[in-house]
Amino acid sequence: MFKKIIFVLFFLFILNSCAVQQKTWSENDWYAYTKTSSEKQEPTKVYEFSDGIIRMHGENIGYLMSKKSYSNFELTLDYRWNLDEKYKSKGKMNSGVMYNIPTNSPDKVWPKGIQFQIKENTTGDFIFLDQVTAKVNGKQVEAGASVTSPKFSENEKPYGEWNSIIIKSVDGKITQFLNGKLVNEATEATSTEGRISLNYEGSAIDFKNIRLKQISK
């Protein structure tokens, strides 16, 4: 009996040491930044928050930036292109989710960090910004202002349908999933923790079901 108790306690300890904490997001977790203003703005004054959906549209490009910094996490969210005629965009639909944005990196369009590219025919690409590097397919990415590492697989749904993204970042190893399929991965990323942003790059886009699990090792 004593051995069984010890085993159960040990098992519970292991589970607790590998605990995953899940965070649910609201407008209070963000601030807004736009290209035409040098100040942080109230998110609801720049973008729409309604029925659990964030709607980003308008003439002024920018982003929602998380107030807090995160490391060793799994970020999940859904997005779709907003095809309402009054928000109609010109050219290719373009947006992105950025992460591992250092807390000492100033707000600008676009800040230092790593981006999950959301764009027509290229959704799933890595974009490494402001000298951030990593190894992709065993090859070191050359440092630069904005460097793209193309996805190795496609899985985007038709315009207007919801797509699901998962980004896992643990100690410099990054995996990017689109609708349940691994579409890109990297190791030895030089930016391993930081803030998260939802980018508005001139194409009307909706986001919902934003969840973040911080992994305690």
Q: Strand, coil or helix: what is 8?
A: helix
Backbone angles phi, psi at 198, to 5 degrees: -105, 120
pTM: 0.88
Domains of the chain: 20-215 (2.60.120.560)
Closest CA to 186 of 94, 115, 81, 120: 115
Assigned token pair, 177: 């999933």
What span, in angstroms and rounded, lies between the C-alpha atoms of 82 and 56? 9
Encode the chain (217 residues) as per-residue pLDDT tens digits.
Answer: 544 444 434 444 444 444 455 667 889 999 999 999 989 999 999 999 999 999 999 989 999 999 999 999 999 999 999 988 888 777 889 999 999 999 999 999 999 999 999 998 899 999 999 999 999 999 999 999 999 999 999 999 998 899 999 999 999 999 999 999 999 999 999 999 999 999 999 999 999 999 999 887 6
> Which DSSP string corresponds to 72-126?
SEEEEEEEEE---GGGPPSSS-EEEEEEEE-TTSPP-SS-SEEEEEEETTTTT-E
